[in-house]
Amino acid sequence: MKALLAGVAEGRIDVAEAVRALRDLPYENLGYARLDHHRALRTGFPEVIFCQGKTPSQVAQIFARLAAKSPVVLATRAGEQVFACVKRAVAGAKYHPAARCITLQKEPAETPAGPPVAVLSAGTADQPVAEESRIALSLMGHPVRALYDVGVSGIHRLFDHLETINECAVVIVVAGMEGALPSVVAGLTPRPVIAVPTSVGYGSSFNGLAALLAMLNSCAPGIGVVNIDNGYGAAALADAIVRTGRERE
Amino acid sequence: MKALLAGVAEGRIDVAEAVRALRDLPYENLGYARLDHHRALRTGFPEVIFCQGKTPSQVAQIFARLAAKSPVVLATRAGEQVFACVKRAVAGAKYHPAARCITLQKEPAETPAGPPVAVLSAGTADQPVAEESRIALSLMGHPVRALYDVGVSGIHRLFDHLETINECAVVIVVAGMEGALPSVVAGLTPRPVIAVPTSVGYGSSFNGLAALLAMLNSCAPGIGVVNIDNGYGAAALADAIVRTGRERE
Amino acid sequence: MKALLAGVAEGRIDVAEAVRALRDLPYENLGYARLDHHRALRTGFPEVIFCQGKTPSQVAQIFARLAAKSPVVLATRAGEQVFACVKRAVAGAKYHPAARCITLQKEPAETPAGPPVAVLSAGTADQPVAEESRIALSLMGHPVRALYDVGVSGIHRLFDHLETINECAVVIVVAGMEGALPSVVAGLTPRPVIAVPTSVGYGSSFNGLAALLAMLNSCAPGIGVVNIDNGYGAAALADAIVRTGRERE
Amino acid sequence: MKALLAGVAEGRIDVAEAVRALRDLPYENLGYARLDHHRALRTGFPEVIFCQGKTPSQVAQIFARLAAKSPVVLATRAGEQVFACVKRAVAGAKYHPAARCITLQKEPAETPAGPPVAVLSAGTADQPVAEESRIALSLMGHPVRALYDVGVSGIHRLFDHLETINECAVVIVVAGMEGALPSVVAGLTPRPVIAVPTSVGYGSSFNGLAALLAMLNSCAPGIGVVNIDNGYGAAALADAIVRTGRERE
Amino acid sequence: MKALLAGVAEGRIDVAEAVRALRDLPYENLGYARLDHHRALRTGFPEVIFCQGKTPSQVAQIFARLAAKSPVVLATRAGEQVFACVKRAVAGAKYHPAARCITLQKEPAETPAGPPVAVLSAGTADQPVAEESRIALSLMGHPVRALYDVGVSGIHRLFDHLETINECAVVIVVAGMEGALPSVVAGLTPRPVIAVPTSVGYGSSFNGLAALLAMLNSCAPGIGVVNIDNGYGAAALADAIVRTGRERE
Amino acid sequence: MKALLAGVAEGRIDVAEAVRALRDLPYENLGYARLDHHRALRTGFPEVIFCQGKTPSQVAQIFARLAAKSPVVLATRAGEQVFACVKRAVAGAKYHPAARCITLQKEPAETPAGPPVAVLSAGTADQPVAEESRIALSLMGHPVRALYDVGVSGIHRLFDHLETINECAVVIVVAGMEGALPSVVAGLTPRPVIAVPTSVGYGSSFNGLAALLAMLNSCAPGIGVVNIDNGYGAAALADAIVRTGRERE
Amino acid sequence: MKALLAGVAEGRIDVAEAVRALRDLPYENLGYARLDHHRALRTGFPEVIFCQGKTPSQVAQIFARLAAKSPVVLATRAGEQVFACVKRAVAGAKYHPAARCITLQKEPAETPAGPPVAVLSAGTADQPVAEESRIALSLMGHPVRALYDVGVSGIHRLFDHLETINECAVVIVVAGMEGALPSVVAGLTPRPVIAVPTSVGYGSSFNGLAALLAMLNSCAPGIGVVNIDNGYGAAALADAIVRTGRERE
Amino acid sequence: MKALLAGVAEGRIDVAEAVRALRDLPYENLGYARLDHHRALRTGFPEVIFCQGKTPSQVAQIFARLAAKSPVVLATRAGEQVFACVKRAVAGAKYHPAARCITLQKEPAETPAGPPVAVLSAGTADQPVAEESRIALSLMGHPVRALYDVGVSGIHRLFDHLETINECAVVIVVAGMEGALPSVVAGLTPRPVIAVPTSVGYGSSFNGLAALLAMLNSCAPGIGVVNIDNGYGAAALADAIVRTGRERE
C-alpha cells in the first residue's frame, strides 16, 4: 500500500487507478460469496468453507475456485451429499466421514514439522469434533498427537499421557457433558489449553451449554474457549499460537 | 391409624372424635407458620428454619417453639441480626458466622457414632456452604471428615485423601465455578456422591448455574445433585442415606 | 499398588517395569474408546454404554469387548438398529424396547437379594425412563418395586403405596411436566429420594427444565436430583446407596 | 354511545360535539399519568396503583385523585416512605406492612357477601404475596378464607382444609420454591385454581422461575397462572370469576 | 367416606374391608397407566388422554377403557396414526384434524345450555389451539362463540365483537408471536380472560416464550395464563369457572 | 368516517346503517382468516402471507383473495409444496426458491423510483433472508442495492461499497453468527440502519440469539432491530422510512 | 480524502504527510477515552456520553472536551453526583432528573423545524426512558409530540391521539411489562415505529426481556426495536430517519 | 519422582517415607485454603488470589504466605477494604484502584523482555478489565502495548494501530456491549486473539452475555474466549502462549 502511494506520488500511478487497485484487493465475487484469496497471506491458511447453510452446488463452486488458487482446501460440516457434488467438481477431493470434512491437498504433504499439537477428547462421542481439529491441523502442516476417550470419570487414563502432552506446543481439549477435562488438563500442564465444548450429552446439557459454561468458568489458568463443536476454530487458534512462536525464532 | 380405626370399630372411639384426631396431627399453628413437630418422627430430625424471607422476630418465635419440643434446633441462612433476636428468645442458641447457622443443642452432644460422612469443598469461597453441611451433620449425630480447598485445578491435593473418602459412607462435594470436582471424586470412589453447586464465581457462572449444569451432566455414575448453595439439603440427604443403611443392620 | 512398591523396594520389580505396570491399568484401547474394565472393581458394576452419538458398529464392538470380561453388560439409549448390530456380535443380548436398553446376562440371574429399591413414575409417558432405572437395578441384582402412573394430580393413588415405599432402601421418583411428585414423596417417607426429571411435557416444560427446577427447589429434605431422563444414573446412585449400607453390615 | 349517535341523528348533538364527547371519556390527565376513572364501571374496581417505579409524590397525587372519585383505593408494592407521603395527602389511608399495601375505604365496609374466596400459601415466606391477595379481595367486598403455610412437603396439613376449600368459589394458591401446591390442590378440588408463583427460594429457583414453570406445566386441569408475586392480579381474576357467576344469577 | 366410617362404627363393615375399600377408589390399573374414573365426579369431566409420548396402542387401550365408563371421551395431540388405532378399538370415535383431537360422544349431544364461552384467536396459525379449546368446551356441554383471526395488528377487527364477548361468561384468548391480544381484550371486557400462548412464531418467539411472557406481564387485570398451546387446559379452567358460578345459582 | 358522521347528522344515513358501515370495514372473513384489504390504504402495501403454520390450501385461498383486490401479492416462508398449490389457484404467481417467497405482480412493474435501499449480508448463508428483503422491496417499488457476503471478518470487502451505501436512503444489514456487521456499518454511515439477525450459526449462536443480542447492544447509534430471519419485516420498515420522507417532499 | 490523494498526486503533499493526515482523523485521545469529534460530521450529532461505568470525573473531563468543540453536548444515565462534577467543569450544563440526562446547549436553541417526532409511553413508570428520547430529540433540533401513559390496557386513551401521531415523521413507542403498545400503534399508523422496551415490570418481565421479545415478535409491520431502556438510541434512529428524508428533499 | 522411585529401588528410601514424600507435595494447608506453592514451577507464575468471596483477613493471610515464598504476588477483585487489610500484613503491597488489583514485587522488576502482548479495549468502561490484564502481564515480565477505547463504532481508530498489533505475539481484546471488536481484530491480524467479554452494557447485554456469545460465534478464525470480566485469565493464557513459543526457541 505504501508502494501504491509512492507510485501515486511519483506520478507512475494515477489517482483513479489507485482507487481501483485498492478496490481490487484479491478477493473474488461469486455473487452469493466473495472469496478471500488474500486470507492465506494474512492468516497463513486459505479461507475454510463452512458447508452448513450452503447448497451442495454452492459448496462445490466455492471449493473449485479456492482449489484454483490454493494448494490445500478444507470444507467442514459436509454431508455425503455435499461431497458427492464436490467430487464431481474437483478431482482429488477426499472425504473424512467421522469428521464430516472434505479436504484437498494438491501436492503430497510434506512431513509435518515444528512442535506437535495435542488433541484430547473426553468420550467416544466427542471424536467427530476432535477429528475436525486433527484433520485441519494436519492440513496446516502440524504434527498431531491424538489422545481420545481420556475423560475425567476415569482420570487415570489421562495421567499416562502427561509427558506426551507436555511435549506439545498447545493442547486442544474436546469434551461434552460436564466439560471438566480442560480444567483438569490445565491444572497439570503449563501449555496453553484450547477448550472445545461439544453438543454431546442430553437433558440439561442443553446441546453443549453445560460444557461451554464449565470451560468458561474453569478455575485453572491458561484456557481459551471456542464455540460448541468448533473443532476447526480450535485448530485455527492452535495454528496461530504455533506460528506466533515460530516467527520469533 | 390402624389403632384409631380399630378403636372406631370397637366403639371406643366415635366417628367425630376420629375425624378430629386425624385433624390433630401434631403440628402447631402460629398463624404465619405451621410447625411440623411430627417431622422428627418421620425423617429423624426436626424441621429446619430457613431464615431468608422471614423477619427476625418470626424466626425467633419459630425457634423458641421448636426448642420447646426438640432437643436440637437448626436455623440456616441466618444473619447476625436474626441471631441477636433468637438469642434473646432462646438461651443456649449458638451462632456459626462462617456457615450463617444458628444451632441449639440442649443436651451435651453424644460422641458421634456410625459411619462418617465426608464433606469436600473445591475452593476457599465454597467453605460457607460446606460448613452448613458439616454443622447440620454434626447436629444429626454423624462423624464428619471435612476436606476443604481440594479443587480440581490442583488435583494432587485430592489424591492424598482418597483413603479417608473411601472410609466414609457418603461423600458431599461442594464446588462453584466449573463444578468439576464431583465428577472427579465419583470417578475415584464407589461411595454415593452428593454434589452441591455453589454460587461462587462470576460472569458466565450465572450465580452457580454453570456448576449446577456440570454436576447434573457428570459422566461419572453415582451422583445426586441438590440446589445451589444448599448445604443443609446435602446433609439431609446424607443423613437419609446413612439411616437407611443403619436400619437394615 | 502397595504390593508393587514393595516389590520395587525388594528388588523383585525394576523401576521401568513398575512404570509400565502403572500404565497398564486394566483398560483397553479401541482407538475411539478406552474401556474401563477396572470400573467393576471400583464401583461394583461394569462401564455402561451410552449409545447416543455412537455408531451402531461402535456400540457392537464395545459391547462385545465388555461381554468378554464381564458377566453383565448394559447399553442405554439404544434404537432398534443398534440392537440389530449388537445381536449379530453378541449372542444372548436382549432388547427392552420400552426402555430402549440392551442387556446381557451371561449366567442365570440369582434371586435378587438385599433391600428393595422403589421406582415410582408420575405418568404413562414417564415410563421409559422408569424402565431404564428398573432394568439397570435388576441387572445390578437389586429387588425392585415398580409403581407407575402415581402422579400428583390424583394423589390418592400414591397413598395406597406408602407402606411398600417405606420398606425400600431408596426411592427413585420419575416425573415430567411440573415434577412435583418427589416433593410429595419425600414429605411422606424418611427414605432417601432420587428425583429423575423427564422431558415429558410441552411448551414451557422446555424439555424437562420445568421438572428439573422443581425437583432442585423442593422444600422437602432428603432429595438428590439426576439429569433429565437419566434413568440409569438414578439406578447407579441407588446402587451406591445400597452398597454403602451393605458394606457396613 | 348509541345514545350519542341517536342524538347526532336527531340533530340534538352536532358532529363536533360528538367527536369531543368521544374524546372526553372519563379519564384524567396528570401529565405523567392518565387516570382511568371509567375502569370501575368496566371492571368493577377502580384502577390500582402499582407503586414500584413511581416516586412517592407521584403515588400520593394519583392516590388523592382516585380518592376524589372512588369509595375505595388500593396501592400495591408500597414502601413505608411512599405511605408517609400518601398519608399526608389523603386522610384515612391505611398501611399494611406485611402486604406492602396502602388502602382507603371511605365508608365503613359492608359485611362481605357472596361466595368466599380461598387464599392458600405454601410457606411462611410466601405470606406477603398472599396478604396482597387477601387485602385486595376484602376491599372488593369478598369474604376470604386464608390458609397459610399448608405446603406440599407436609401434605397432611392441607387435607384438613379440603371442605373449607370446596365451599369457596375460587381458590388462590400462592407458592414459591418448587411451586407444587397448586397441582395438588387442583387435583383435590373441582374449583378453579389461580396459581401465584412467588420469588421465594434461592439458587435455581431463579427468583420464582422454577415455581412459575411448575405451575404452567401442572398436570392437573383447571389452573390459571399469574405473574410471579402478583397477589393483586390473582385477586382481580378471582373477582372477575365471582362477578361473572353473580351476574348470571 | 363418612358413610364408610359410619359403617365401621356400626360394625357393618370390618376394618380390613374398610382399608380395602379406601384402597379401591375407582381407578383402574392398566400397568402403564392408572385410569381415574373418579375424576368425573370430582371435576365434572372424565380424564383426558394426552397422546404425545404414548404409543398408538396405549392410547387406544386407554380410550376404550374410558369409553366403557364415561359418556364422553377426549384425546388431544393425536396424530392420524393414533386415530387409526383408536378407530379400530372404539366405534363412533371421531377425528378433528385441525385440532388434532379424537372425541367420543356416546349419546346425541344435548343442546348446550348455560352461559357461552368466547374463544378468540389472534392469527390463522393459532387456530388449531383454539379449536382444541372449542371442541373440549362443546364436549363439556358449553355453548361456544368462536372468533378467529382478530389479532392486535388490525384492532378494528376486534371492536366489532365486543358485545358478543361481553355476553359470554369467560373469554379464552389464543395468541402467538407477541401475545398482545389478551391484554387488549382484558382492557375492554370485565369478564375473566384465560390467555393461551401458542408456539406460533419464529426466531425470538422461542417457541411461544415471547407470547407466554407477554401474557404473564399483562398490565390489564383479570387474566389467568395456561401453558403454551394448552387449548384443553384453557377449556378446563373455563369449565371450572362456569361450574363454580352455576353451583351457586 | 367524518363523512359518515356528517351523513348521519344530515339524515342521509340512518343509525343502523352507520353501525353496519363501521362494522363492514373492508376486511374479508374466510372463517380461519380475516383479510385486511384496508391495510394497503393504511400502510401502502397489502397484507403479506406468512406461510409457516398455514396449510398449502389455506395459503392458496388467501393468495387468490388478495390477488382479486391487489395489484401485487407476497407470500413468505413458502416451501415448494405451497407454491405448487398457489400456482394452480393463481396464474402468474412466481416462486423465488432462494428467498422461499411467492410473488404476484399483475401489471408490468414500473421502473423503481425514489431513493434506493441498500441490502447487505454478512455471509453466503445469510443470503435467503437478504433475498426476502430484496424481493419485498422490489415489489414495493424501491430500487435496491444488494451487497452480499461483505462480513466483518474481511472488513476491506465492506469499505469498497461505502459510497454506494451512503447514496441509499436506508441500509438493511443481514448477519448471523456474531452479528457484528450492523455495528460496523452504522459507525461508517449516517443512514438509518435496519439490523436483521439470522439463525445462521451453530452451538452458542442459539439459532440467532447471539446475533440478535449483539445488534441490540450495538454501541453505534442509529440502528433498529427486527426479529431473527425477518427479511420481510426489515423491508416493511425500510418502506415506511422511505414513505415518511417522500410524503414530506 | 480524494483531495488528499489528489494533493499527493500533484506533489503538493508528500507521502509521510499523507499518512499522518490519515492518522490524525479528528479524534482526541484522553488515555482512557478517544473522543470522536468527527462523528458530528458523519452522523449529524456529536458523540453522546453514556455515564454508567464511568467515574464522575471521567464524565466531567469528557464533557468539557466535547463542549470545547460542539455547540450541544448530551450525557445519559447520569446520577446527581455525576452532574455535580460536570457542573463544576462546564458552565451552563443542565440536569434533567426525570430523564437522568445532562445537556449543554451553548447557543439559544432555534425553533425546532422539520417534521415532528412522536414519543409515546405506555405507563407512568416508563416515563424516564421516554424523557431521555424527548430531550435527545429536542437537542437534535426536532419538534416532539410527547404522549405519555397511553398504554394498551385502556386502549381508548390511544385512539384520541391518532391524528397527532400520523402528522409525525416517526413514532417512538416506549413500553415495559407486556410491551404490546408498539404492535397496536403500528397497526394503526403507516409511520415507521421505533419500539423501546423498558425494564419496568417485575417477576417474569425479567427486567424488560418480556417487553423486548414482544416487540421483536410483533405481527404488525414497520417496527424497529432498540435495546431495553435505550431512550437515546431510539432518538438517534429517529433522527437518522428524519435526516435521510430531509436530504432527499 | 523418578529419583524418588530410584531411591526406593536402591533401598536408600523406604516405602513409608516415599508415600509421605508424595503426600508432602509443596502446598500449604491454612485450613480454609491450600496454597499451591508448586504452581509457579508448573505454570511459571504463583497462584493468584481471587478476592471475591473471601474475607479481608483470609486474603491478607493467604497474601502473606505466598509473599513468603514467591517474588511476586497478585490479588484480583480486591476492594479498598481488602487492600487496607493486606497492607498491614505485607509491606510493599501496592493497590491499583482502576484494576482493583493488589500486587507485590519484592525485587525491582527487570526490564520486560521477549515479545510484547497487545491489550485492546473497546470502550472507556471496559478499561478496568483491560487494566487487570495489563498489570498481570507486567508482573509476569511481558512488555505490554495497551490501546484503549478503539471500539468498532469508530473503526478508523483501530486501523492506526495495526502495525503495533502485528508486532505483538498475542492480542488481548476486551469488549462489552455487542462484543464485536475481537472479530474485527482477528480479521486483520494473523496473531492469536484472546477475547475478553465484559459486563459493560445494560438491558439485553444481560451482564456480558451478549458480548460473550458474539465472541464465541465470531466468524474470524484464531480467537479463544475467556470468562466475562476475566482480565487475569486472558493474561494467564497470553503468558502460556508466549512461554510455549519461548521454550522452543
Residues of F with CB under 8 A from a CB of A: 124-125, 127, 148-150, 154, 156-157, 160, 200, 202-205
pLDDT at G104: 95
Q: Which residue has the higher pLDDT, A167 or H157?
A: A167
Q: Do chains B and H touch (3 or more CB pairs under 8 A)?
A: yes
Identify the residue among E5, E14, E19, E22 best suited for mutation to test binding to B, counting B beta carbons within 10 A and taking the highest. Answer: E5
Per CB-CB distance under 8 Å, the chain C contacts of A149 are 29, 32-34
F152, closest residue in chain H (CA to CA) = H184
pLDDT at D247: 73
User: Cβ(A103)–Cβ(A93) under 8 Å?
Assistant: yes
**CB H155 to CB F216 under 8 A?**
no
Per CB-CB distance under 8 Å, the chain A contacts of B219 are 122-123, 151-153, 177-178
Which cell goes with C69?
470380561
pLDDT at A104: 95
Distance from CA of H111 to the nearest CA of B (A): 31
**CB G2 to CB A9 under 8 A?**
no
CA angle D136, D142, D146 (to 5 degrees): 75
Distance from CA of F235 to the nearest CA of H (A): 24
pLDDT at G138: 94
**CB H6 to CB C15 under 8 A?**
yes
Percent of the residues in chain A that have a pLDDT greater than 90, as a whole number: 60
E118-143 residue pLDDT tens: 999 998 899 999 999 999 999 999 99
Q: Give strand ranges (E) for chain F.
A: 27-29, 34-36, 49-50, 72-76, 94-96, 101-105, 117-121, 144-147, 170-175, 193-197, 223-225
pLDDT at C99: 94
Residues of F with CB under 8 A from a CB of E: 23, 25, 27, 29, 31-34, 36, 38-39, 50, 52-54, 58, 62, 77, 197, 199, 207-209, 212, 227-230
**CB G228 to CB H160 under 8 A?**
no
D211-245 residue pLDDT tens: 999 999 998 889 999 999 999 999 999 999 999 98
pLDDT at E152: 76
pLDDT at A4: 59
C-alpha C33/C-alpha F234 separation (Å) is 50
Q: Is the pLDDT of residue C199 over 50?
A: yes
Distance from CA of G10 to the nearest CA of A (A): 7
Per-residue pLDDT of chain D (249 residues; tens, 9 = 90+): 556 566 766 777 766 665 545 444 445 666 666 665 555 555 567 789 999 888 999 999 999 989 988 889 999 999 999 999 999 999 999 999 999 999 999 887 778 888 999 999 998 899 999 999 999 999 999 999 999 988 876 676 787 788 899 999 999 999 999 999 999 999 888 899 999 999 999 999 999 999 999 999 998 889 999 999 999 999 999 999 999 987 765
C70-121 residue pLDDT tens: 889 999 999 999 999 999 999 999 999 999 999 999 887 778 788 999 999 9
C-alpha G213/C-alpha G202 separation (Å) is 15
What average pLDDT does this structure show over C128-151? 94
Q: Is the pLDDT of residue F75 over 80?
A: yes
Q: Is the pLDDT of residue B79 over 50?
A: yes
Identify the residue among C140, C226, C243 best suited for mutation to test binding to B, counting B beta carbons within 10 A and taking the highest. Answer: C226
E139-156 residue pLDDT tens: 999 999 999 988 877 677
B13, closest residue in chain E (CA to CA) = E9
Q: Is the pLDDT of residue G27 over 60?
A: no
C-alpha B235/C-alpha B72 separation (Å) is 15
- Select from D152, D188, D221 the Cβ nearest to the Cβ of C180: D152
Q: What does F17-83 look like in DSSP terms, one character per residue?
A: HHHHHHHT-SEEE-SS-EEETTHHHHHSSPPPEE-TTS-HHHHHHHHHHHHHH-SEEEEES--HHHH
Distance from CA of A149 to the nearest CA of C (A): 5
Which cell goes with G202?
417485575
C-alpha D135/C-alpha D239 separation (Å) is 12
Identify the residue among B19, B27, B227, B232 best suited for mutation to test binding to D, counting D beta carbons within 10 A and taking the highest. Answer: B227
- Select from E2, E8, E19 the Cβ nearest to the Cβ of B8: E8
**CB H190 to CB A243 under 8 A?**
yes
B85-100 residue pLDDT tens: 999 999 999 999 999 9
Q: How confident is the model at residue B22 (pLDDT cuts 50, 70, 90)?
A: very low
- Select from A32, A50, A199 the Cβ nearest to the Cβ of F127: A32
A85-130 residue pLDDT tens: 999 999 999 999 999 999 999 887 778 788 999 999 998 899 999 9
Q: How confident is the model at residue E223 (pLDDT cuts 50, 70, 90)?
A: very high
CB contacts < 8 A (D, E):
115
Distance from CA of F152 to the nearest CA of E (A): 23
**CB B124 to CB H54 under 8 A?**
yes
B2, closest residue in chain E (CA to CA) = E15
Which cell goes with D44?
368493577
Q: What is the DSSP pairing of strand A34-36 with strand E101-105?
A: unpaired
Identify the residue among A5, A10, A12 best suited for mutation to test binding to G, counting G beta carbons within 10 A and taking the highest. Answer: A5
Question: How is residue H59 annotated by DSSP?
Answer: H
**CB E224 to CB D194 under 8 A?**
yes
